[in-house]
Amino acid sequence: MQRPAPSPLEADIAATLDWWREAGVDALFGDEPVGWLADPAAAEEPARRARTVPDRPKPVAPSEPKIGGPRSAWPQDLETFRQWWLAEPSLDEGGLAPRVAPVGLAGAELMILVAMPEEADRETLLSGPHGKLLDGFLNAAGLPAEKVYRAAVLPRHTPLADWEQIERQGMGDVLANHVALARPKRLIAFGRNILPFCGHDPAQGAQKLQTFNHEGGRIPALFEAGLERLLGNWQLRARFWRRWLDWTDTDAWRDAQG
């Protein structure tokens, strides 16, 4: 039986190999090793491990404890709230300064809200320089002490407070409950750290915020720089006083004061 004639491609390949062989090159060299033949044992090992080693579950980050504990156990009146404010363990992680209770009566004409007690506060909230500045303002505004309710977002002086974590853990809900129990007619919040707890983005201009929403309603609110900033800047104090006059320039407010 006659063999088929070789194809031109086969002849070209054979001629090329003969040329290299006559030149003394009979092996292929490279910088990187190459496995020409698969290793059956090596190929089997990953498959065997995949069959025998179970997938490890991904770790689940523990949830942060809620500030205030179960909502069903929260105080239902202002006097009980004061006692709870001084004793409830979940409200903060402790510190060198004591807890300080809010001051005032329910239904006050004005609620003053600050971020935390002053460093020197022991039994009375805002008993230091910030409180003296506030007293001067209230006297100029014609507001006696019995018509003002003073409160803080945090129960004790906490210089290195982690505000983002405190917000995530639910202090805003505790504050809303506090305001609902206090039932003030108006509210002034001093300090940018307070804004997130009032349901507002700190990036927003505080002067555009006009209400505080709490459980069951909303009240007119004025958001201002912290008392520590007002104490050291007469221009901020002057601006605040102008805003206060504009804010209270209503018949309802004048009738309430008269």
pLDDT in tens, 92-122: 988 889 999 999 999 999 999 999 999 999 9
Determine if the pTM surpasses 0.85: no
Going by pLDDT thresholds of 50, 70 and 90, the confidence category of residue 1 is: low
Going by pLDDT thresholds of 50, 70 and 90, the confidence category of residue 211 is: confident
Tokens in use for 180? 């609902």
Check residue 14 and give its pLDDT.
76
Mind listing the pLDDT tens digit for each residue in 127-176?
999 999 999 999 999 999 999 999 999 999 999 899 999 999 999 999 99
Q: What is the rounded average pLDDT of the residues 81-90?
A: 95
Among 50-64, 143-157, 165-179, 212-226, name the one with the lowest average pLDDT.
50-64
What are the extents of the domains in the chain? 97-257
Q: At what angle do helices 78-87 and 171-182 cross, to 10 degrees?
A: 150
State how far the Cα of 256 lies from the Cα of 63, in Å rounded to an integer: 47
Does residue 239 have a pLDDT over 60? yes
Check residue 17 and give its pLDDT.
72
Average pLDDT, the chain: 82
Going by pLDDT thresholds of 50, 70 and 90, the confidence category of residue 27 is: low
Going by pLDDT thresholds of 50, 70 and 90, the confidence category of residue 65 is: confident
Going by pLDDT thresholds of 50, 70 and 90, the confidence category of residue 224 is: very high
Tokens in use for 140? 């100029």
Among 79-83, 225-229, 237-241, 252-256, name the one with the lowest average pLDDT.
252-256
Does residue 10 have a pLDDT over 70? yes
Check residue 217 and give its pLDDT.
76
State how far the Cα of 118 lies from the Cα of 79, in Å rounded to an integer: 22
On whether the CB atoms of residues 75 and 84 are closer than 8 A, the answer is: yes
Q: Are strands 217-224 and 211-214 parallel, antiparallel or unpaired?
A: antiparallel
Single out the residue of 103, 147, 148 nearest to residue 121, CA to CA. 103
Percent of the chain with pLDDT over 70: 70
On whether the CB atoms of residues 141 and 182 are closer than 8 A, the answer is: no
Domain 97-257: which CATH class?
alpha beta
Check residue 28 and give its pLDDT.
62
Q: What is the 3-state secondary structure (H, E, C) of the chain?
A: CCCCCCCHHHHHHHHHHHHHHHCCCCCCCCCCCCCCCCCHHHHHHHHHHHHHCCCCCCCCCCCCCCCCCCHHHCCCCHHHHHHHHHHCHHHCCCCCCCECCCECCCCCCEEEEECCCCCCCCCCCCCCHHHHHHHHHHHHHCCCHHHEEEEECCCECCCCCCHHHHHHCCHHHHHHHHHHHHCCCCEEEECHHHHHHHCCCCCCCHHHCCEEEECCEEEEEEEECCHHHHHCCHHHHHHHHHHHHHHCCCHHHHHHHC
